[in-house]
Chain A
């Protein structure tokens, strides 16, 4: 290191570093996986709000099943798709806590459709974080309800065919129709401005819990470069070109 760099890299000049709410365990995610960025944002929001000892997460089945190893708060792990039901129980027993679920698209929009619909319809005072990477990442890249028309996955090797597989499901728009949801938004984490916006959305969702406003639902469109068989940089580009037209970013409901 040159003397100049030693001078710049002094403690008092730090403008960005890993938040202390991350445990420091090396994440098992593939290189470039959006789950890592999203974990970081959730941890930063919790740390900055000073609610680490008041927050309980519910992790899913999917690549993020081990989220409890990475964010240093209390956690429960739910059976596949059942995180909103588990979060309902925790939140009703501990109304003073900030309770959130963290779920993939296979977990939330496939096997867990009933649980998320009814938790949102009851307006449970929880935050639901929905990571939509249009695929089952964990199990080897099978088609998810959110997989795009024509998208190649291990179970749609010739591309998703609507005759055979139905249409991509915009579950976030469906949930916005329910009276129990107060804030429904779709975000992404592919660029610094998008990351800042996604963090603001997560912060707002947790603030809604404090105000007892009902269910806040934050979808984050993300990449699964392993499942999509691309580099992380190519995956971000593919997401912008193909995912965003079907899953446009922005607030869907805010009351």
Chain B
């Protein structure tokens, strides 16, 4: 149904696990991983990738600029 499909790539090694992207996501896509990165932070990852609409809210709020957001029009 959705016209747009989105996805994000988080640079996990640079993520500080602040959780700001998780609460900013309107679609409940993101979560902090159980695993930690090299610095000991629970990094952000897509728990429900199929829900992502590519709105870029997560990218905007990330203080460390570690999220790249993609959006694809599926009605082409």
Contacts and interface: CB of A to CB of B under 8 A. Distances in A.
The interface residues of chain B, by DSSP majority, are classed as mixed
Contacts of B19: 32, 231-233
Interface in B28-76: 41, 49, 54, 56-57, 59-72
Interface string A41-56: 0000000000000000
10 contacts: A13-B71, A15-B6, A16-B56, A33-B63, A34-B63, A36-B63, A36-B65, A37-B61, A191-B61, A192-B56
A40 B72 CA distance: 25
A18 interface: yes
A192 B17 contact: no
Interface of B: 5-7, 9, 14, 16-20, 23-24, 41, 49, 54, 56-57, 59-72
Nearest to A232: B18
A191 B24 contact: yes
Interface of A: 2, 4-5, 7-10, 13-19, 22, 26-27, 29-37, 40, 189, 191-192, 195-196, 231-233, 236
Contacts of B72: 7-8, 10, 13
A253 B67 CA distance: 35
Contacts of B67: 16
B70 A37 contact: no
A40 B67 CA distance: 12
A-B CB proximity, top 4 nearest: A36-B63, A32-B18, A31-B16, A16-B59
Contact of B59 (A7, A17, A34, A36): A17
A76 to B, nearest CB: 24
Contact of A10 (B41, B59, B62, B70): B70
Nearest to B17: A31
Which of A2, A5, A10, A189 has the most chain B CB atoms closer than 10 A to its own CB? A5
A119 to B, nearest CB: 28
